[in-house]
Structure 1
Amino acid sequence: MEMQQYFRSNEREIIEDMKRLVIAESPSLQKELADQCKDVLQGMFKSYFGKKAEEIEMAEVGNHLKFTYGNATEQVLLVGHYDTVWDQGVIAYRETSDKIYGPGILDMKASLISAIWLLKYVDEFNLSLSKKIVLFINSDEEIGSTTSRPFLEAEAAKSIAAFILEPPVVGSGDVKTARKGTAKYLLTLEGRSAHAGNNPQEGVSAIKEAAKQILDIEGLTDYDKGTTLNVGMIQGGGKLNVVPNEAHLGIDVRAATTKEQRKIDDYFEEIKPHDERVHIKVEGGINRPPMERTKQTAQLFGIAKEEAHEIGVDLHEAKVGGASDGNFTAPLVRTLDGLGLVGEGIHAESEHIEKEHIIERFTLLTKTVLEVIEEC
C-alpha cells in the first residue's frame, strides 16, 4: 500500500490516538498527571509493538521514555516531549470540521503520534531497516529539559541524524534548520538606604544603578548578528521617601552563534557597577546552546525537501528565535527541527492543528526518516 494511502485509510484511528494523548493532561510540574500521560504512551507502545518503552524514572517530573525499534548498531533519533504549559482543565479537547483543539495538541502531542505511526508503518509492512530508530520522549521540555538533557545528549552522540518533532513555522510549514541559543540572568543590585528628605546623599540608589545597567544591557543587542537582550523584569524600592537599597533585573538573551552567546555570558560574569558602592550579584546563565545551520544540516534539509516534493509539497527552511531540544542535539549530530504537525496557537488557548495537513506531515516525516536511514 502506498504510504499516503496507508495513513489516509487510518486517519480516524490516528485522530483517536491524538485525542487519547491530549485528554491525558500533563503539566510539566505535576508529576502525577504527567505520569498518567506517560502511561497512555506506554499503552500505545505495548498495543502496537508488543513492548513498552524504557522508562527513566524522575522524582519531580514525569518519567522520560526511550523506545527503540530495530536491532542495528547505528541509529537515527526522534525527539519529542509530552509535557505541556497548561494547567489541568484550562482548555478542552474539541474537534471541528477542519481543526482539532486541545492542550498541547500542537506542542506537541499530535507530533508524538506521527512518530509512533511512522514506527507502526515500518512494523506493519515488515520493512528492513539498516539502522534502528530511537524515539526519545521527555517530560520537562517546557521548563528547560533540565533533567532530560544528559539523556538527550547521550542519544544524540550515538546517532547519525536527529529529527525534532516540534511544529513547523506557523503559516508557512517551514522546517527549522537553525535556532537561537537561550540564556537567562537575574541581577540583584544592593545599594544603601537613606531618608530621601533628610539625608539622601548618604544613600546609594539601587534603582538608579539598575536604570544605567538596563541601558548598557539592552545596548548589547545586535540584530545583524542575531543577538538580542531583553530586560523583561525589574523590581525594587518601596516607600517613596526612602532611597532604595535593592533592585532586581531579569534578562532574556538570544544568540544565533556560540561565539556571540559566550561573549554575552562573559559580559555578565564580568559586569561592573557604575557606582562602585553598589554590589551586583549575578545568577543564571546559558540554558540552550544555539542550533547553528551547518553543511550537514543543509544536507538533511535537502533530503526532506526532495521527499516533500514527491508528495507535492514545496518545503522551505527557516531560522527562528525560539529554542527546543534541537539546541541540545545539534552540537552533537546533524539535526532537523520542525517536522511536527501544522497548526497555530502554541501556548495560547486557541492551540490547534489543521486536519488537512495531518496525512501530509505524517508522510513527510516517515519518508524523510526512512530515506536518511537508507542514504547514510
Structure 2
Amino acid sequence: MRMETYRRDRSYRWNYDHGPSFRGSFPSIPATPRKDFFGARVNSRLGVAAGILLNSKWVECYSRLGFDVLTYKTVRSSGRPCYPLPNWVFVESKRELDVGADEILRTARRRPRDPAAVTSAVCFGMPSQPPGVWRKDVRRARGKLRRGQVLVVSVVGTPREDGGEESLVEDFCRCARWASEAGADIVEANFSCPNVCTAEGSVYQDPGASARLASALREALPSTPLLIKSGHFSDRRRLGSFYRAVDGGADGVVLVNGVSRRVLGADNKPVFGAFERVGILGKAIHPAAVSNVAAAVRCCGSKGLELETIAVGGVTGVEDPGSFFDAGARGVVMGGVPMLDPLLALRMKESHPEW
C-alpha cells in the first residue's frame, strides 16, 4: 500500500485543514474482547501516539479504522506555528540503531515499498492551535469516538522568557486542566521532544523537575488518569531514577518518544536546516524501544512502583506489538506507521484479538 494519509509534501497547516488524505471505504472492524485501560473498557490496547491526529477529523478517521487509544496531537496554552518544510522524511537504515553510538543518518533515495520497512525522521516543533480552537475541537473529537475507545489528549507547557520552572509547571497544569475539561479520558503530559530546544523538550532528563511537575499535575487532575511521555534512556540507572521520580504522580509512562539523531541530506547538510538533531521513528528504533520498555517494567516490579508503561517505538508490522506486550507493556501506541498503513489495526485485531 502506498497511501499516505499525511501529505508530507504539504505544510502542517494544509494537513490540518484538508487531511486526512484517506482514500477508499472504511473497513468492518472485527469484534474483540474488552480490556481494561486505566479504568476504561476498550476494544483493544492498540492506538495512535501523539503525532498525526491533528484535530477531530483525524481522530474520527482513525477511530473508524479500528485504533482504540486515540491521542490528540500535543496542545499548548497559546498558538504556535509548525517548523517550515520539510517536517517528515524517510531515512536510510539497513539495521537497528546502535543506542550507544551517535551515528549520522541520511535521507532515503526513494520511498520504501513496504511500510513495515520504513524508518523516518520528523521535525515539527510541537505546534499548536490557540486554546480557543483546540478546546472546542477536543470536545468534537470526544463525540466522534466509537464504543470501546478512549481519547488521550497530549499537552505540553510553554516556558516564558522571564519565567523559570514554576511558570512552566503552571502552564503544564493549565493545559492539563483544559484538556480534561474539554473531554479527555486520559491526559498525556509530554516531557520530551527531540527537536524542541527549550526547557519543555527535555524535562524527563531531570528527575527532580520531573517529580515536581508530575506531583503538580496530579494535584491539577485528581480524578483523570495521567500519563507522562518520556524520551529514550541509554542509561538504565537514569531510566530508574525517572520512574521513581514520577511514581505516585502519574498513572503511567509512554515510552519512548523517538530516538534523537542527526540527519543529513544528499548535499551533506542537515535536512531540517537549523535543526540538526531530530526524532527518529520506525523500524530501526524498535529493538531500542523494546529494551527500554522491558527495563522499565522490571524496574517497577523490583522497586514496587505502581506505574504502567505504554509502549511506543518502531511498530511497523502486524506482529511487532507482541514484543512490547511480552515485555509487560499495558498498551501499544504507534507514531508513524498509521500514516503509511492505516489498515494496520484491522489486521492486528484479526490476528490478535487478545491485544
Scaled by the length of structure 2, the TM-score of the pair is 0.32
Q: Report the structure number with the largest CA radius of gyration.
A: 1
Give the TM-score normalised by the residue count of structure 1.
0.31
More strand by share: 1
